[in-house]
Amino acid sequence: MQKPSPEALITRSAIALDRIDYASWLECFAEECRYEITTFINLANGWPCGLLHAFSKDQLRDRIASIETVNVYEPHRYRHILSQTHQTHTGMDSIFVTAFSVYRITANRSTILFATGEYQDRFKYEASGLSIRERTVVLDNEQIDTLLAIPL
Amino acid sequence: MTDNLTRIPLRSYTDVDRYNDEIRKIVQGKTWHFIGFESQIENPGDYSTTEIAEIPVVVLNDAGAIRAYVNRCVHRGSILCLSEKGNINQFECVYHGWTFDLKGNLNGVAFERGIKGQGGMPPDFNKEEYRLRELKVENFCGVLFATFDFDTPEIEKYLGPEIAAGVRRVLPSKPIVIGRTSQLIRSNWKIYVENNHDSYHASILHSFFTTFKLNRLTQSGGIVINEAGGSHISYSKRKQEADDQVYDSEQLRANHDEFGLKDPGALRFIDELNDQISLQILTFFPLVVFHQISNSLCVRQVIPRGIDRVEIVWWYYGFSNDSDELKNARLQQINLVGPAGYISMEDGAVGEFVQRNSPHSEGADGLIMMGGNGYESSASRVTEAAIRGFWKQYYEMMDA
């Protein structure tokens, strides 16, 4: 793995999902990682429970395995449109914030604007490369159209 | 009306006239609706806003008494409380500044007497004749319910003793909200409600359940249906190993032997209610569902949004004395439930499949024959009795 910038890794993770290349998406995360999807309303109220909470990379692997082999839903894919990344402060613990829009594409259905929000990312820096240590996906709106199977 | 509860015409999901009748006769009839939690409006003057079907409602703490009103100014129908929550000492409409006290009485009309003798309301206008439309409220173990009809019997009697006990079971102390999410399903509201009455589908459609042996129809459990028919409990106790053989011989799609979880943190069940029951789905006619799925406790508020849309607001709750272990279990088990849940995401999809096939379906019925033609309680969950119970109460109210 080359040494990408945080911005390049964020883009790579989004394009991997858009291409339904879950293996590449998983590669973006550190082995010890946390990935959560919640909403601005939950955060504003101090409510911990959002939509999806993975506390290890194995739980992310389980999510992918389940949506690939167990869960039943109409096949679809996403298209992420990302903003430039804003670094909130410097140092090892800095958070990188990237706004996104995600469209959902389902065969024979209209493409819909499925979600808007932001990634709040923390990274793990190693000689071998960069990986996502913590990602909180904060949705602007709490209403999910139909279901959320594929992570954002 | 039908005296046959085993066949439901698919046009029930597409008939706009019927939908308007449902809102008038059922939603605004003698039925109770979820409107929030006591813990959201602890202080005098606190309010929160919500909806019953698409009727806006404001819930208020009036010096300790909980009141609910249609959130609509009597003047021109505008919204009184815009925010989702807040604290007020009177209602004030932003449109023309009409004000109401917390008991709902109109007490202020801007420029009521006009200016310099010009304009103003007619001399015989009497503010006392105008008040906000009030709903009857009941606080049931810290969860707030409202009804449009002041003659609706109290919740204990409305649900019957067994279902009321099932609600109390999952509310051992005052609940606090720990998270919320919402799911828009492109189906008629009844398809979603029927789905919650349908104990037959759970371990077939929701492959995840069965793959991980979380809930099988062979587990000990049962269905309890109230006398009115429309409220029920489906429950099961923790799995017993002897049950596995029956399922494995059925070769269900739901069994993926090759698939195992690498990190099963979401599957740990803590028997917090000390009765071994690890799953309870409780429907509270017509638009409320309480779920206990392991340690995930939730009120699902069903909001019909027209003939072919329904929103489900998932209100996750816990208790102020939850241990860290229990808090963690509730958080981990979010992965099982809600619009992104391993064992519930499918419900959003199948409702749409039925709705999509319902237009121009004259002569086509849904068949509800599993387990006979009645709506009695049973130890078996291989039955559609609770769906028939829903329709029994539904038709009774629609034909009244």
Whether the pLDDT of residue B144 is over 60: the answer is: yes
Taking CB atoms and an 8 Å limit, are A148 and B334 in contact across chains?
A: no
pLDDT tens-digit series, residues B297-329: 999 999 999 999 999 999 999 999 999 999 999
A1 domain-assigned: no
Taking CB atoms and an 8 Å limit, are B177 and A45 in contact across chains?
A: yes
Across the range B72-94, mean pLDDT stands at 96
pLDDT > 70 fraction of chain A, expressed in percent and rounded = 98
Same domain flag for B51 and B128 = yes
Task: Determine how many CB atoms are found less than 10 A away from the CB of residue B72.
Answer: 18
Same domain flag for B83 and B200 = no
A102 domain-assigned: yes
A112 domain-assigned: yes
B14 domain-assigned: no
pLDDT tier for residue B260 given thresholds of 50, 70 and 90: confident
- For residue B111, what pLDDT is reported? 93
Whether the pLDDT of residue B240 is over 60: the answer is: no
B55 domain-assigned: yes
- For residue B53, what pLDDT is reported? 96
Same domain flag for B83 and B191 = no
- For residue B2, what pLDDT is reported? 54
Taking CB atoms and an 8 Å limit, are A52 and B334 in contact across chains?
A: yes
Helices (H) then strands (E): counts for chain B = 10, 19
Same domain flag for B132 and B243 = no
- For residue B214, what pLDDT is reported? 64
B363 domain-assigned: yes
Whether the pLDDT of residue B259 is over 70: the answer is: no
Same domain flag for B200 and B71 = no
**Average per-residue pLDDT for chain B:** 92
Q: Which CATH number characterizes residue A34's domain?
A: 3.10.450.50
Taking CB atoms and an 8 Å limit, are A45 and B211 in contact across chains?
A: no
* Mutation site for A-interface testing, chosen from B297, B335, B336 by largest number of A Cβ within 10 Å: B335
Among A64, A144, A132, which residue's Cα sits nearest to residue A102? A144
Residue B249 contacts by C-beta under 8 Å, 6 or more apart in sequence? Answer: none
- For residue B220, what pLDDT is reported? 84
pTM: 0.94
- Structural domain of residue B362, as residue ranges? 160-399
A148 domain-assigned: no
Same domain flag for B192 and B269 = yes
- For residue B239, what pLDDT is reported? 63
- For residue B261, what pLDDT is reported? 83
- For residue B215, what pLDDT is reported? 59
- Total residue count of chain B as it appears in this document: 400
- For residue A152, what pLDDT is reported? 98
- For residue B256, what pLDDT is reported? 45
Q: In what order do the strands lie in the sheet with A129-139?
A: A52-54, A29-39, A129-139, A112-126, A96-106, A76-87
Across the range B10-33, mean pLDDT stands at 97
Whether the pLDDT of residue B28 is over 70: the answer is: yes
B153 domain-assigned: no
Mapped onto helix, strand or coil, the DSSP state of residue B359 is coil
Whether the pLDDT of residue B24 is over 60: the answer is: yes
Same domain flag for B176 and B208 = yes
- Sign, CA dihedral B367-B371-B373-B377, equals negative
B150 domain-assigned: no
Residue B324 contacts by C-beta under 8 Å, 6 or more apart in sequence? Answer: none
Same domain flag for B93 and B188 = no
B147 domain-assigned: no
Taking CB atoms and an 8 Å limit, are A70 and B259 in contact across chains?
A: yes
CA A56 to chain centre: 14
Burial class of residue A92 in the structure, from the number of CB atoms within 10 Å of its CB (0-12 exposed, 13-18 middle, 19+ buried): exposed
- Sign, CA dihedral B167-B388-B209-B356, equals negative
Taking CB atoms and an 8 Å limit, are B179 and A47 in contact across chains?
A: yes
Number of domains in chain B: 2
A76 domain-assigned: yes
Same domain flag for B91 and B171 = no
Q: Which CATH number characterizes residue B103's domain?
A: 2.102.10.10
CA–CA dist B21, B255 (Å, integer): 43
| Nearest-CB residue to B349 (from A48, A56, A147) | A147
Across the range A113-132, mean pLDDT stands at 95
- For residue B203, what pLDDT is reported? 76
Tell how strand B296-304 and strand A129-139 pair up: unpaired
Whether the pLDDT of residue B207 is over 50: the answer is: yes
B317 domain-assigned: yes
Could you tell me if A122 and A95 are in contact, meaning their C-beta atoms sit under 8 angstroms apart?
Answer: yes
**Chain B CB contacts of A65 below 8 Å:** 259
Listed residues B80, B106, B138: the one ending a domain: B138
Tokens of B346: 């499918």
Could you tell me if B182 and B300 are in contact, meaning their C-beta atoms sit under 8 angstroms apart?
Answer: no
Could you tell me if B77 and B65 are in contact, meaning their C-beta atoms sit under 8 angstroms apart?
Answer: no
**Chain A CB contacts of B266 below 8 Å:** 59
pLDDT tens-digit series, residues B335-369: 999 999 999 899 989 999 999 999 999 899 999 99
Q: Which CATH number characterizes residue B373's domain?
A: 3.90.380.10
Mapped onto helix, strand or coil, the DSSP state of residue B312 is strand
pLDDT tier for residue B251 given thresholds of 50, 70 and 90: very low
* Exposed e or buried b per residue across A27-66, where buried means at least 16 C-beta atoms within 10 angstroms of its C-beta: ebbbeebbbbbbbebbeebebbbbbbbbbbbbbbbbbebb
- For residue B243, what pLDDT is reported? 46
Whether the pLDDT of residue B257 is over 60: the answer is: no
pLDDT tier for residue B247 given thresholds of 50, 70 and 90: very low
Whether the pLDDT of residue A2 is over 80: the answer is: no
- Structural domain of residue A105, as residue ranges? 6-139
Among B170, B349, B373, which residue's Cα sits nearest to residue B277? B170
Task: Determine how many CB atoms are found less than 10 A away from the CB of residue B224.
Answer: 19
pLDDT tier for residue B217 given thresholds of 50, 70 and 90: low
Same domain flag for B257 and B323 = yes
B122 domain-assigned: yes
Same domain flag for B309 and B381 = yes
Number of domains in chain A: 1
| Nearest-CB residue to B179 (from A48, A73, A144) | A48
Across the range B148-165, mean pLDDT stands at 98
Among B114, B289, B263, B113, which residue's Cα sits nearest to residue B196? B289
Whether the pLDDT of residue B148 is over 90: the answer is: yes
